[in-house]
Amino acid sequence: MQCEDPQTGLRALIAVHSTKLGPSLGGCRRWSYDDVADAITDVLRLSKAMSYKHAIAGTGRGGGKAVILGDSSSDKTPALMKCFGQFVDSLGGRYITAEDVGMSVKDMLFVSETTQHVSGLPIEHGGSGDPSTMTAFGVYCGILAALAWNQGLGKNDSCNRSVVKNRVIAVQGLGHVGMDLCRQLHESGAKLIVTDIDPNRVAQACDQFNATANSPHEILAVPADVFAPCALGCVLTSVSIPQLQAPIVAGAANNQLGADEDGALLHRRNVLYAPDFVINAGGIINIANEQPTYDVDKAKAQTRKISETLWQIFDSSKKLDRPTSAVANELARHRLERNRP
């Protein structure tokens, strides 16, 4: 759906990929795209990934996503957010929106003035708050699982905090998710190498978590135990993968693979890839636990299971000699076809 409103300057797209398992739920991204074609490609890919993410996480929701074209720092106004809410409302609940890159809980409050089909509102407003903390927790659990699996440990160690102690984790992107992931890793004794296009965020991570700064252009090539992409998508391509030094890729960013073949390239190079829509599901699991009354412990327990799911995917990938991305795609498609989570 194309959403245009000259009065507020809103230019947005809403994509509903699937409502087979329930109403589609996915965040709204605010980004300055080069052109509309880029935004269309992004919203379509993101909404498909949301369908797969919900199917694997078993939330009983479908896949949808929205993008607002523009620069989040300069031209996001309450009127624009409310207008976006009206477009969401016109879909009658087929799409439920939430935060994504460039959006905040405050923005969702404005959206909630014009539609009830919005989640991720503050807890005091009946919501579950910013989903990023749970997303970061899920990614943290996924990193533990990947490290344990690569070390040949047993499944019981898939949530063992000690596996990350003294391990080097290269984190790309220090926004809502990346920064909180750094906190959790630092508290477990990991060594951090970080980068962001915003130097203030890099300084903050160095200061608070004793991280070492790196440049956005070199982070993929730093020697590390894990590369954690937590910025934008398409970071893993036929050009970037050969530069990768880490034997594990496990991070929050959506659509990390430039193309499906890049999952196969990672597999051939013996890089253990935690499929993005599996490892970054903590946020939607959190939101799916909003009704009837938000229960953070339940959401956390469900998010912790990301480790188990990844373990199964790693196991199947090894047994079948197939890329983890292909195994995860197949699992998601199978659940969608069965028409139940």
Using rule CB under 6 A, residue 283 touches ligand NAI: yes
Using rule CB under 6 A, residue 170 touches ligand NAI: no
Judged by CB under 6 A, the residue of 42, 107, 196, 225 near ligand NAI is 196
Interface mask toward ligand NAI for 35-74; x: CB under 6 A: ----------------------------------------
Using rule CB under 6 A, residue 252 touches ligand NAI: yes
Quote the least distance from Cβ 217 to ligand NAI, whole Å: 9
Query: What span, in angstroms and rounded, lies between the C-alpha atoms of 236 and 58?
Result: 27
Closest CA to 255 of 48, 23, 9: 48
Using rule CB under 6 A, residue 122 touches ligand NAI: no
One-letter amino acid of 5: D
Quote the least distance from Cβ 337 to ligand NAI, whole Å: 24
Q: Which two tokens stand for residue 243?
A: 């530069």
Judged by CB under 6 A, the residue of 26, 142, 173, 258 near ligand NAI is 173
Interface mask toward ligand NAI for 67-106; x: CB under 6 A: ---------------------------------xxx----
Residue nearest ligand NAI (C-beta atom): 175
CA atoms within 13 A on the CB side of 136: 20
Residue with tokens 């073949």: 261
One-letter amino acid of 46: L
Query: What span, in angstroms and rounded, lies between the C-alpha atoms of 5 and 9?
Result: 6
Phi first, then psi: what are they for 24, rounded to 5°? -75, 140
Give CA 234 to chain center in angstroms. 13
Judged by CB under 6 A, the residue of 36, 197, 259, 301 near ligand NAI is 197
Are the CB atoms for 332 and 56 separated by under 8 Å? yes
Query: What span, in angstroms and rounded, lies between the C-alpha atoms of 274 and 251?
Result: 8
Residue 82 falls in the annotated catalytic set: no
Kindly name the residue from 48, 53, 65, 76 that is annotated as catalytic. Answer: 65
Quote the least distance from Cβ 71 to ligand NAI, whole Å: 12
Query: What span, in angstroms and rounded, lies between the C-alpha atoms of 191 and 279?
Result: 21
Using rule CB under 6 A, residue 198 touches ligand NAI: yes
Give CA 119 to chain center in angstroms. 16
Quote the least distance from Cβ 165 to ligand NAI, whole Å: 25
Give the range of 73-81, 162-170, 173-181, 185-193 binding ligand NAI by CB under 6 A: 173-181
Cα–Cα separations (whole angstroms), residue 145 to 150, 311, 313:
9, 7, 11
Judged by CB under 6 A, the residue of 231, 241, 246, 288 near ligand NAI is 231
One-letter amino acid of 172: Q
Q: List contacts with ligand NAI (CB under 6 A).
A: 100-102, 131-132, 135, 172-178, 195-198, 201, 216, 230-232, 252-254, 280, 283
Residues with catalytic function = 65
